[in-house]
Amino acid sequence: MSPIVISVAAFIGVTALVGAVAMLVRDRAASRVDDRLTVLTGNPAAVRKSKASTPTLMTRNQETGPGYVEKLLARFANLHLICEQADTRLTMSKFVMLSAALAAFGGLLAALSRSHAGLVPLAAIVMGSTPTIWLMLRRRSRLKKFATQLPDALELISRALRAGHSLGAGFNLVQEEMAAPIGQEFGRAFEEQNLGLPLDESLQGMTERVPNLDLKFFATAVVLQRQTGGDLAEILDKIGSLIRERFKIWGQVQALTGEGRLSGVVLLALPPLLFVAVYRLNPDYIMTLFTDPMGKKMLAGAIVMQLVGALVIRKIVNIQV
């Protein structure tokens, strides 16, 4: 490959990567600077301007309308809902741009390091999948934190109901007293009710944004109580105690399956690490897997068996509580 072509490709890849990262951090950095200046100056006009610049429930959907990329990706997966569940302001256009830039950057790094031609697409796939992995990990962390906060939120709403407050006031109390993500979600539900949305639709939207089974129990209990009557505070106390008992059992299961999970990590990480070590020591020996027809079949079989082993180990140690 010509050095000029490599240089031009490297320049394009690095420029696209820098531009995508700059687009991601620009809005967040600007908002942080505005918030700090508002706190330091204590200017009421600046406070009003900061509140006006913050997207609300009425303006959020109008400001970020779906584009061509969003409509195209919506046919394969609801990435907009995944981004909403992960609580990120990353749009689908920025997500695709960042993934493509990282894939190009990974392929260029593999090409410039004079690696085998078969490793170039592998490096591009690994780097290009980094935003997806980050998004799924962020979503998982947020949903896990929501699940741990839910019993306290239900008990807080139950106490508010016993004190004579309404259910909407209980939602507002959760928003004020508890941190994100549960305070953010209940606050959004409270805001939707103030704007005229029925309680049933507000709870349904929250269960879609947060796919949590205990939250669905809570929403079902609220809807049934509004239709048939009953002591909602007692129901919320029972749901909260049930969630706490489930967490206790889940902790015991995690302790009992810790050895199996650690063994699975070691067994799954050993073949790739051994591949890299042998490649560094004797590249010609490992390149037979890419050049020889039988080696290609063996490599494909090893990858398939590795994936099957990962699924089997996950099935063994992943006990639903």
pLDDT, tens digit, 9 for 90 and up, residues 69-84: 555 555 556 777 888 8
User: Which letter does DSSP use for residue 279 in this model?
Assistant: H
Return the pLDDT at 30: 46
Residue 113 placed within a domain: yes
Residue where the block lists tokens 């796919």 = 211
Considering the domain architecture, whether residues 34 and 106 belong to the same structural domain is answered as: yes
0.85 exceeded by the pTM?
no
Quick one: 15 and 114 in the same domain? yes
Residue 87 DSSP class:
T
C-beta of residue 232 within 8 angstroms of C-beta of residue 222: yes
pLDDT at position 73, please?
56
In a domain, 134, yes or no: no
Mean pLDDT (the chain, rounded):
78
Residue 313 lies in a domain: yes
Instruction: Name the domain count of the chain.
Output: 3
Whether 252 maps to a domain, the answer reads no
Judgement on whether residues 9 and 107 belong to the same structural domain of the protein: yes
Which tens digit of pLDDT belongs to each residue from 111-161? Answer: 887 766 767 788 888 888 898 999 999 999 999 999 999 999 999 999 999
Q: Which of 205, 224, 246 is the last residue of a domain?
A: 246
Q: Do 161 and 212 belong to one domain?
A: yes
Together in a domain, 59 and 164 = no
Q: What is the CATH number of the domain that holds 152?
A: 1.20.81
Residue 295 maps to a domain = yes
Residue whose C-alpha is closest to residue 159's, from 247, 243, 240, 244: 240
Average pLDDT, stretch 190-206? 90
Q: 198 and 263, same structural domain?
A: no
Contact 264, 317 (CB under 8 A): yes
Instruction: Answer yes or no: do 272 and 295 share one domain.
Output: yes
Residue 282 predicted with pLDDT over 80: yes
Q: What is the pLDDT of residue 63?
A: 43
DSSP of 91-118, one letter per residue?
Answer: -HHHHHHHHHHHHHHHHHHHHHTT--TT
**222 and 307, same structural domain?**
no
Instruction: Examine the domain organization and report whether 23 and 121 are in the same domain.
Output: yes
Instruction: Indicate if 163 and 56 belong to the same structural domain.
Output: no
Boundary (domain end) residue, out of 217, 246, 275: 246
Token pair listed for 160? 């508010």
Q: CA-to-CA distance for 320 and 85, rounded, in angstroms? A: 22
Which structural domain, as residue segments, surrounds residue 306? 257-317
22 and 119: one domain?
A: yes
- Which residue, 190, 221, 246, sits at the end of a domain? 246
